Amino acid sequence: MRAVVCRRRRAALALLCAAGLGAPAALGREPTPEALARARALTARAAGALAAARTAEALELTTDALALLPDSRNARRNAALAWATRGAEALAREAAPAARAGYEQALELHPERLAYRLGRARALLLLGGLGAAEREARDALRLDPDHVDAWRLLGDTLERAGRLEEAAAALGEVLERGVDDDALGRRVTVLGRRARAEARYLAHSTGHFEARYDPDLPPQAVGLALTLLEDAYARVTAELGLTPRTPARVVLYPDEEFRAVTGAHSWVGAVYGAGVLRVPMRNLERHRETARRVLAHEYTHHLLYERAPGLPSWWHEAIAQWMEHGDGAPRAARETEERLAAALARGRLLSLEELRSMRSLAISDPGVAQLYYAQGLAFLGWLHEEHGGGGRLTAFLLAFAERPDAEAAAQTAWGASESALYARWAARLGR
């Protein structure tokens, strides 16, 4: 959060500086004194809006200033900065299509700005564009070998591509340039561990999964894990009526190695990240049903990332929980809703805006995390109860894939916007 605030202050300061530079460098005609004064006033107001995180207002103000001074480089750059801020905010929510649109608008106005190219590349990475993101990062490093954001982007891209040693080296370049980031240091260490561990792993393809596993694992355990993964594939794709475009990558670890390379707690059943499903091979035969649920949950994330890129995190978790519970999902949702009614009475229910702005992995407060997951499952259960069947959920995902807007996709699937549906559900809880 502190980094976001700092970026907003820097953005606002940039606008204020641009507003006070005198007559802007023009591409054609000179502006009138009246137009210049009005544009300066609009830019100053836009700076205040950006500092207060009112990005939509800043966009409107900078667009008005640009209409007054269409030939002004400063006006174009100010409008680009507002669009880039919108892109950055969307990236923070992992709303990749909106982020890409924001940065592309910024680049139309200010195509020389390297930071906007890297922002667009990050959005493309979230959308699965590994090649485009790597090319953009390497192009940026040819222009500026010390650009730490380009090194970060390259490292993230290489990790998602499974090139772990290269990823660790790229992220290490960030630390070499004096960046003080303990979390990044730990990540580089973990990437090194993963690279060393997985270098000796065996590979096996099932058609729907590209698996790698420790050769010392018992063959029957590996076979059971792959069977449970195929079960997850069959159940999730049948329920959602969607299939992924590519096989899922999965790595099967001995328990201790899983914790060492992921940093996960001992109770974590599996994790999905950077395009890979990572599974600890604890006693699957004894805990088969738990493993079945966990793998269905994590596999759902893979399918959603592929078929509905940019889907908000809270929808991801709601749908993954629904798939996890299988036939028992409606009952689990009703029981969860009963508990949430008490939370609402205490004024603790999260608003839709809060849910939209959160990413599951970034929530540090256990109480907030519990509400976040519970509200998603209960809301989805209410939609199922009110409108019935998984066909509507499939329609929502297909509509979102075509146009990445949850409000519009909900309107297509359920006949009302996301906001209206959420308000109805919350009102029912309060009765």
pLDDT digits (tens, 9 = 90+) for 232-274: 999 999 999 999 988 899 999 888 888 877 777 767 778 888 7
193 and 208 assigned to the same domain: no
382 and 282 assigned to the same domain: no
194 and 208 assigned to the same domain: no
343 and 385 assigned to the same domain: yes
**pLDDT score, position 250:** 93
Percent of the chain with pLDDT over 70: 91
319 and 294 assigned to the same domain: no
Band of pLDDT at residue 27, cut at 50, 70 and 90: very low
Cα separation, 194 vs 376, whole angstroms: 33
21 and 102 assigned to the same domain: yes
Range scoring the smallest mean pLDDT among 197-201, 345-349, 402-406? 345-349
Under 8 Å between Cβ of 352 and 422 = yes
pLDDT at 189 over 60: yes
- The predicted model gives 32-51 an average pLDDT of 86
* Closest C-alpha to 336, from 289, 370, 361: 370
Residues composing the chain: 431
Please give the single-letter amino acid code of residue 377: L
178 and 274 assigned to the same domain: no
Cα separation, 424 vs 191, whole angstroms: 45
Domain of residue 80, CATH code: 1.25.40
Element (H, E) at 177: none
Q: What angle do CA 212, 153, 401 make, to 5 degrees?
A: 75
pLDDT at 422 over 70: yes
Range scoring the smallest mean pLDDT among 49-58, 157-166, 313-322? 49-58
Q: How many angstroms separate the first and last alpha carbons of the chain?
A: 35
Band of pLDDT at residue 53, cut at 50, 70 and 90: confident
367 and 412 assigned to the same domain: yes
**pLDDT score, position 390:** 64
| Cβ atoms within 10 Å of 294's Cβ, excluding its own | 20
* Closest C-alpha to 334, from 374, 370, 298: 374
> Helices in 326-365 by DSSP H: which ranges?
329-345, 352-357
208 and 317 assigned to the same domain: no
Q: pLDDT: is 342 or 422 the higher one?
A: 422
Domain's final residue, options 305, 336, 354: 305
| Cβ atoms within 10 Å of 240's Cβ, excluding its own | 22
114 and 161 assigned to the same domain: no
CA gyration radius, the chain:
24
**pLDDT score, position 215:** 92
Strand partners, 213: 202, 252
Domain of residue 294, CATH code: 3.40.30.160
CA 79 to each of CA 51, 83, 116: distance values in angstroms, whole numbers, following the listed order:
15, 6, 13
Under DSSP, the state recorded for 358 is: -
Tokens matching residue 64: 């008005």
Which residues fall within 8 angstroms of residue 100, CB to CB, at 6 or more apart? 87, 120, 123, 124, 127
**pLDDT score, position 167:** 95
| Cβ atoms within 10 Å of 399's Cβ, excluding its own | 19
**pLDDT score, position 109:** 93
**What is the pLDDT of the chain when averaged over all its residues?**
86
Under 8 Å between Cβ of 26 and 32 = no
Structural domain that includes position 425: 313-430
Under DSSP, the state recorded for 328 is: G
| Half-sphere exposure of residue 51: CA atoms within 13 angstroms, side-chain side | 13
Domain's final residue, options 272, 305, 338: 305
Cα separation, 408 vs 322, whole angstroms: 22
Q: 70-114: per-residue pLDDT in tens?
A: 888 888 888 999 999 999 988 887 778 889 999 999 999 999 999
Band of pLDDT at residue 176, cut at 50, 70 and 90: very high
* Closest C-alpha to 89, from 102, 76, 107: 102
pLDDT at 388 over 50: yes
Cα separation, 136 vs 215, whole angstroms: 37
Percent of the chain with pLDDT over 90: 46
Cα separation, 339 vs 367, whole angstroms: 13
Tell me how many domains the chain contains: 4
| Cβ atoms within 10 Å of 411's Cβ, excluding its own | 17
Range scoring the smallest mean pLDDT among 28-42, 300-314, 317-331? 28-42
Tokens 């772990």 correspond to 164
140 and 50 assigned to the same domain: no
202 phi and psi, to 5 degrees?
-90, 155
Cα separation, 160 vs 170, whole angstroms: 13
Under 8 Å between Cβ of 252 and 222 = yes
Describe the strand order of the beta sheet including 271-273 as a list of residue ranges.
202-205, 209-213, 248-253, 276-280, 271-273
Domain's final residue, options 165, 184, 199: 199
214 and 291 assigned to the same domain: yes
pLDDT at 138 over 90: yes
pLDDT at 24 over 80: no
Under DSSP, the state recorded for 404 is: -
Cα separation, 91 vs 424, whole angstroms: 29
* Closest C-alpha to 40, from 83, 72, 10: 72
**pLDDT score, position 20:** 46
